Amino acid sequence: DTEVTQTPKHLVMGMTNKKSLKCEQHMGHRAMYWYKQKAKKPPELMFVYSYEKLSINESVPSRFSPECPNSSLLNLHLHALQPEDSALYLCASSQDGGPQRNSPLHFGNGTRLTVT
Amino acid sequence: EDKVVQSPLSLVVHEGDTVTLNCSYEVTNFRSLLWYKQEKKAPTFLFMLTSSGIEKKSGRLSSILDKKELFSILNITATQTGDSAVYLCAVGSQGNLIFGKGTKLSVKP
């Protein structure tokens, strides 16, 4: 088990549904990340929050909406997704600055999302 | 364009063998190189390398970075079936991690 907790572990949703993915860490990390990973592919960065402010948005469609309510929590709100959005969604956290300042990312176990 | 290239893409060995996984990179503003092991779920952090020539070691795993030739290797000695996984190399640059495609290692009994 990792120190980054993601819920739910699995999610099946229709294209008209609204759902949210949740991520929590209690390591005192100040940077949190959302990655998307398709089968047999490496993780792809979606969003980075640093000190609860969105610092990187990798041109992600607006049907994905991140939220960082506090330094321990990170949400990803989903609305009107497409079947091609089906993937493993990984949350990660790191100390200040992440790899930029030589701090490794620690990943959660992910939410496996299926859009029908 | 920044890129991280891992080789081989897949590898099948028998228990007890020693393996070497390769990672080469071309990125602007290199900060660090990280190795992760991914089984079915979360990538698990193995090593972070920032300086050339300094070997990092953890049990049967070791890694080293060459910043002049822009590559790193991950060695696993006396492999076990539990080492079967995808090994991801990632390079830290501009606040992001750029991942390679991974090496899928299968260790047969």
Of B34, B41, B90, the CB nearest to A110: B41
Question: Coil, helix or strand for B7?
Answer: strand
Q: Which helix (H) or strand (E) holds A113?
A: strand A111-115
Give the residue from chain A lying closest to B92, CA to CA: A99
- A110 in B contact zone (CB under 8 Å): yes
Q: Higher-confidence residue: B83 or A59?
A: B83
What tens digit of pLDDT does each residue of A95-112 get? 876 656 668 899 999 999
Whether residue B23 contacts residue B43, with contact meaning beta carbons closer than 8 Å, is answered with no
Kindly report whether the peptide bond that precedes residue B8 is cis, defined as omega within 30 degrees of 0: yes
What tens digit of pLDDT does each residue of B11-20 get? 999 999 999 9
Burial status of residue A53 (CB atoms within 10 A of its CB: 0-12, 13-18, 19 or more):
exposed
Task: Give the best residue of B9, B36, B41, B86 to mutate against chain A (max A CB count within 10 A).
Answer: B41
Using a CB-CB distance cutoff of 8 angstroms, which residues of chain A are in contact with residue B101? Answer: 41-42
Q: B28: which DSSP letter?
A: S
Name residue B76's beta-bridge partners. Answer: B19, B61
Question: What value does the mean pLDDT of chain B take?
Answer: 94
- Report the pLDDT value the prediction gives residue B29, as an integer from 0 to 100: 85
Residue B38 predicted with pLDDT over 70: yes
Q: A3: which DSSP letter?
A: S
Name residue B35's beta-bridge partners. Answer: B47, B89
